Amino acid sequence: MKSFFYRWTRRFGIFFVVLGPGLITAIADNDAGGIATYTVTASMFGIASQFLVIPTTFVLGFTQEIGARIAVVTRKGLADLIREQYGIRIAAVVFLFYFVVNQGVVLQNISGLKASIRLLNIPWQLPLILTCTVLVTTVVRFSYKSLQRIFLILIFFYLSYVAVAWLTKPDWVSLFQETVVPEKITLGLNFWFSIIAVLGTTITAWGQFFVSSYINDKKLSIEQMKYEKYEIYFGAFLTNVISYLIAVAVTQTLFNNHIVVSNAASAALALKPLAGEGAFILFSAGLFGASLLGLTIIPLATAYVFAELFGFEGSLDTDFRKGRLFYLFFILQIGIALIITLFPQVNLFDITLYVDFLNGAMLPLIFFFLAKFGSDKDLMGKYALSQPMKITLYVVGFLITSVVVLSTFGKIFGIN
Amino acid sequence: MLYFSELLNRKVVTEDNVYVGKLVDLIFKLSETAEIAKAVVKTKLDPKTIVDIADVVKINGSITLKKNYHAKELEENELYLSKNLLDSQIIDISGDKMVRVNDVAIQNQPYLYIAGVDIGLIGFLRWFGLEDLANKIFNQYGIKLRSQFLSWGDIQTLELSRGHVKIKTEQLKLQKIRPEDLADYLEQTNMDNIGHVLRTFTLEHAGEVLNNLNLNYQVEFFKRTELKEAARFMSHMEPEEAADILVALPKKKHEEMLELLNEPIRKQIKHLLSISVSPVGDIVSTEFLSVDSNSTAKEVIKLVKDVGSDFGEILYVYFLNTEKQLVGVSSLRSVILQNPESPAYKFMRPQIEVASLSTPVSVVWRKLLKYKYYVLPVVDKNRQMIGLVKLDDVSELINKI
């Protein structure tokens, strides 16, 4: 009995040691863009918009786990391997695409931040600039360990969605039934496009790069991989629980009252008369936290990849002098997004559309790299992917890519 | 000067203009000179045909081979240029990442060798054919783009075999390293570099570092250094170390140096030299275990089991390269602790203190005490192993004297 207890406390301890990469990457997939998508689709189709929540959890966990495995075994990030195996030309092209895609995602998050500040009914320009300045200074100054703590604290902002969902007093049983077997709505083309959009915002190009770089920065060992795997699936699970709860809250309020919204901020406002001031504040706080986390993690994902591809020192533990170029790219992406956001005439909706498309277009390439490196015996030794895993990865990659591309075309041609 | 980016994927033909394939890689010798030894050609039959560089008649323009070229194989101490060097991470002495190898510069006179690696923007742009364009644009604004270049001499060849492109550090940083560590570091670079570094130091500091160098390096350094300068360095060393070096130097240089040394140290050295000069040759034991450095830990252990009963005692296993030269040592304990499949060259200790047959017993005695060894291997001029001297035998002899 005693040894049983000891064994489990030990396992639990190791789990906390590895805690971070999987959880943070997965949760950051629910960034401002993600929350907007869950909200808008749930206001249109109710909880049925979470139709694919279970397969999405598995796919997210599965792909992230492969990225993590490659990182732990080779001690290199995905971008390191791309440069070393495919040379400078491919590396440069990948980076160009990646930079543009991430710039778009950063833009989504900074406008999410702007929206959450505007909900307070105060002038938003100065607070936005101040928040960005604090964020940049924090990331440059703090070490990996302290930053990870901040990231984990930011995750607590998502708890507000748990509270919002609870405030709307849902009938869980009927909601689950409706999720698995949607009845209340006609399952037209629009519905499928929405489902796909939900999936597409959860599986991202940057997430695949970030998890491997971040694991290397954490310096996990191969013995810890088993626990890291649990952590990744736990992160995927938690992420999808949160997106589900957002959909629950929106379904209980907006959808049931036939209010369709076009973004997360208007959803928050519409919540006020239906679920009360508390729900409004919680929903806004959630959006604020999500935007802030996205605004930190995604530019970091760009900076990691830049440093790996071109061989510069790139770790959250390096000081600014050594990691100049690493931090420069981090600051650059936030700076560009901030300037664009300060000009109110830019149409963010169009930008978001193209970003989603580019993200979808990048995914097959990344899945190809994952499968290629993951099954390379020279790199992975006995940890190489088995044939079924490799095939699963290709199938999953193909499916996700096609649905993301399809949904984007759907949006472009206005089917939605 | 050629760049690898310009050679990669070039057409390879024979002298009578028969198409062979495309150049996909080069193979170079892992040495100070980094000679290009072979070329790798992708042909229809074999994606990795290795051709001796002697069979390459021309490398500018299209690559031309002799009519009857020979296929070769990769040998020990050879690395692929594209696979092992290009795009690799370059790290500085403290292990910080600096940049990646963007291109490799190859010198074609008097023979083909790697001159250095390009780590700059120009090296990056060359891959996209944008070198000239970028130069033109920047020239208009009066900015001259310069190649950033790391010469081959700046790269630690030893580390390269372990898959790291590590550079030798700036002199300023070296000043701050403790003499013991600096000596270890210098032993891994080359002789020219040792001289170069030591000359940037004060004589006191240089003397301390010299004290900590392995005797072979000390002797080599003083052999190469001009007489007066050598005497200046030696005057700042420990008398014991200096005496050991003088014994190993050619007789003429030995005597001339002695005359040039400062008075106090000269006295001490003369005294030391007058004590035992009896060579170690008399007490060499030929009972030692040596194996090829490619053997795995498992094979070494098996050998110990098979022949061990013939030995009085086995403390260390010595590793030899293909030329039977001593290249490493490992304690039996360390062999047993290794992963059975691990090859010896991965776990052996490559820096070994050795003695020669003519090394005085007093020198061996001091070495054994200094490094806390029980035995010291004895090698001949070609660094082939002759035998061992044991601490107890040396102690006995010293006691008699």
Q: Are A307 and A298 in contact (CB under 8 A)?
A: no
Taking an 8 Å cut-off on Cβ atoms, the answer to whether B87 and A307 are in contact is no
Among B303, B268, B269, CA closest to B288: B303
What is the C-alpha separation between A20 and A215, in angstroms, rounded? 8
> What architecture is domain B281-400?
Roll (3.10)
- Dihedral sign for Cα atoms in the order A126, A337, A76, A395: positive
Among B184, B179, B246, CA closest to B208: B179
Taking an 8 Å cut-off on Cβ atoms, the answer to whether A312 and B99 are in contact is yes
Which SS3 state, helix, strand or coil, does residue B35 take?
strand
Maximum distance among all Cα pairs of chain B, rounded to whole angstroms? 83
Considering only CB atoms, which chain B residues are within 8 Å of A92?
A: 124, 127-128
A258-277 pLDDT per residue, tens: 888 887 888 888 878 777 88
Q: How open is the CA angle B385-B387-B389, to the nearest 5 degrees?
A: 130
> Phi and psi (nearest 5°) for B312?
-65, -50
> Phi and psi (nearest 5°) for B343?
-75, 155
Q: What ipTM was estimated for this complex?
A: 0.76
pLDDT of residue B401: 60
Q: Which residue has the higher pLDDT, B129 or A78?
A: A78
Q: Are A70 and A212 in contact (CB under 8 A)?
A: yes
Taking an 8 Å cut-off on Cβ atoms, the answer to whether B88 and A80 are in contact is no
Among B93, B81, B83, B221, CA closest to B155: B93
Other C-beta atoms lying within 10 Å of the C-beta of residue B317: 24
| Residue ranges matching CATH 2.30.30.240 in chain B | 2-86
Beta bridge partners of B89: B100
Q: Which of B87, B89, B90 sits opposite A88 (nearest CB)?
A: B87
Q: Are A27 and A153 in contact (CB under 8 A)?
A: no
Fold of B2-86: SH3 type barrels. (2.30.30)
Six-digit token pair at A371?
A: 């499968």
Six-digit token pair at A402?
A: 């096609």
pLDDT-wise least confident of A119-128, A389-398, B183-192: B183-192
Indicate whether A177 pLDDT > 60. yes
Concatenated DSSP letters of A386-410: PHHHHHHHHHHHHHHHHHHHHHHHH
Closest-CA residue of chain A to B89: A311
Domains and CATH numbers, chain A: 11-412 (1.20.1740.10)
pTM above 0.80, yes or no: no
Considering only CB atoms, which chain A residues are within 8 Å of B98?
A: 311-313
Structure confidence at residue A299 as a pLDDT band (50, 70, 90): very high
Taking an 8 Å cut-off on Cβ atoms, the answer to whether B128 and A322 are in contact is no
A334-371 pLDDT per residue, tens: 999 999 888 876 666 666 667 777 777 788 888 899 99
User: What's the CATH number for B171-274?
Assistant: 1.25.60.10
Considering only CB atoms, which chain A residues are within 8 Å of B88?
A: 84
Q: What is the DSSP letter of B77?
A: T
Indicate whether A130 pLDDT > 90. yes
Indicate whether A120 pLDDT > 80. yes
Q: Which of A80, A89, A318 sits opposite B128 (nearest CB)?
A: A89
pLDDT, averaged per 10 consecutive residues of chain B (401 residues), comes to 85 89 90 85 88 85 84 85 84 74 81 82 84 83 72 76 71 64 76 74 85 87 87 87 85 86 83 66 80 89 86 86 87 88 84 80 83 86 85 80 60
DSSP β-ladder status, B19-29 and B316-320: unpaired
pLDDT of residue B363: 81
- The packing angle between helices A2-18 and A225-253, to 10°, is 70
Q: What is the DSSP letter of A385?
A: P
Long-range residue pairs from A409-415, CB within 8 A, at least 24 positions apart, any chain: A410/A189, A410/A193, A410/A196, A411/A193, A411/A197, A411/A353, A411/A356, A412/A353, A412/A357, A415/A189, A415/A190, A415/A193
Q: Mutation test of the interface with chain B: which of A74, A85, A88, A222, choosing the one with the most B Cβ atoms within 10 A?
A: A88
Closest-CA residue of chain A to B5: A88
DSSP β-ladder status, B36-43 and B49-52: antiparallel
Q: Which of A87, A89, A311 sits opposite B89 (nearest CB)?
A: A311
DSSP β-ladder status, B63-65 and B11-14: parallel
pLDDT-wise least confident of A202-211, A250-259, A283-292, B182-191: B182-191
